[in-house]
Copies of this chain bind each other. A is one copy, B any other.
Amino acid sequence: MTTISIKSYPVRREHAGHVNKGPKLNLKSGYVDLSHGSGGRAMAQLIDQLFLENFDNEWLSQKNDQAMIAVSTGRMVVTTDAHVISPLFFPGGDIGSLSVNGTINDIVMSGAKPLYLSASFILEEGLRLSDLQKIVISMANAARDANVAIVAGDTKVVERGKGDGVFITTTGIGFVPEGVNISGSNAKPGDCILINGYLGDHGVAIMAQRNNLKFSTDIQSDTAGLHDLVMKMVEAVPGIHCLRDPTRGGLATTLNELAIQSKAGFFIDESCIPVRVEVASACELLGLDPLYVANEGKLVAICASDDAKTLLEVMRSHPLGRHSAIIGEVTADPRQLVQLRTRLGGMRIVDWLVGEQLPRIC
């Protein structure tokens, strides 16, 4: 089995003993073919000229089948995500930035500092090398922004019709600072529930692409790494109880998960939940509920009510939290229900998503 670290830098040479890197990949007009997954010369070129060129760091250049990392005593977090989003490129991002940001966000929701990523690629024969290059550059930029190193990787190629362009699985590793103890099971009755901005942008941006709907305003995916926002939140309120990113399944799913983990009820107020007018309109058109639509740059934070004002201020002062709001509170409810007060003043239960709402949204 192969990691980028490995099959990577085997500098090509000729029989005469000259060292060279072999012919250049045709990144402008070439395509992925099965030889790029063979373990041989073509794969080494792909890894060398595309992945290493962009992800280069001290671990990859060790050229072993595994990256070796010095660690200190403490608490490490690990998370993984497969990314199969369609289309590969969308307003606000692409599968590359998404696959890095998504895993970074899962790491930082524990209060951890993200440090290392692995990335494995399943490429479909016929993918344009220029598209793959854009995606890889996008990953490299997202990783650089978060000061995270992509230390190991793998590349496989499947025949045309057995994949869909590219699937990317990223696995992230981070370390939790002393004194931080954030978990989905820590919400307490009386706690406040906060969100860092508008809901539903990602899901609607993707659906609009797929259906070629013409919106008067371009809605962009909110895909973003939340590492810096969370760091500032944890600095200001080290005792934050819960953090979670409401991705697939949306806010509704995240709150239902947290309610069960914390054995509490949640009460949210529709009039406090930030949703863009364009997103609300699009959701109406598509028959979607913004509470169930995926986000890729949002987080739910739960903290003691005494800390809520401080936390809200810190969030609002950050570029990724300008539209933050307190949207509800935790209740003592043995039924562990998520309840919503509607704009009209009625109450309804916000249940788990049933069936499939938005396939391949991430």
Contact = CB atoms under 8 A, between A and B. Distances in A.
Interface string A1-41: 11101110111110111010000000000000111011111
Nearest to A175: B71
Interface in A56-85: 62-84
Interface in A157-172: 157-159, 161-164, 167, 169, 171-172
A42 interface: yes
A118 interface: yes
A3 B79 contact: yes
Interface of A: 1-3, 5-7, 9-13, 15-17, 19, 33-35, 37-42, 44, 62-84, 86, 102-103, 105-107, 109-110, 112, 116, 118-122, 151-159, 161-164, 167, 169, 171-174, 176, 183-185, 244-245, 247-250, 253, 256-257, 260-261, 294, 334-337, 349, 351-360, 362
Contacts of A19: 336
A106 B352 contact: no
B10 A257 contact: yes
Contacts of A69: 75-78
A112 B359 contact: no
Nearest to A159: B359
Given A38-B355, A245-B1, A335-B13, A80 B159 contact: no
Given A41-B353, A62-B183, A109-B65, A247 B2 contact: yes
Contacts of A63: 184-185, 257, 261
Contacts of A294: 39
Nearest to A182: B64
Nearest to A171: B171
13 contacts: A2-B248, A39-B253, A66-B78, A69-B76, A69-B77, A71-B75, A78-B173, A79-B118, A81-B154, A82-B154, A156-B362, A158-B164, A163-B163
Contacts of A362: 1, 156
Nearest to A252: B40
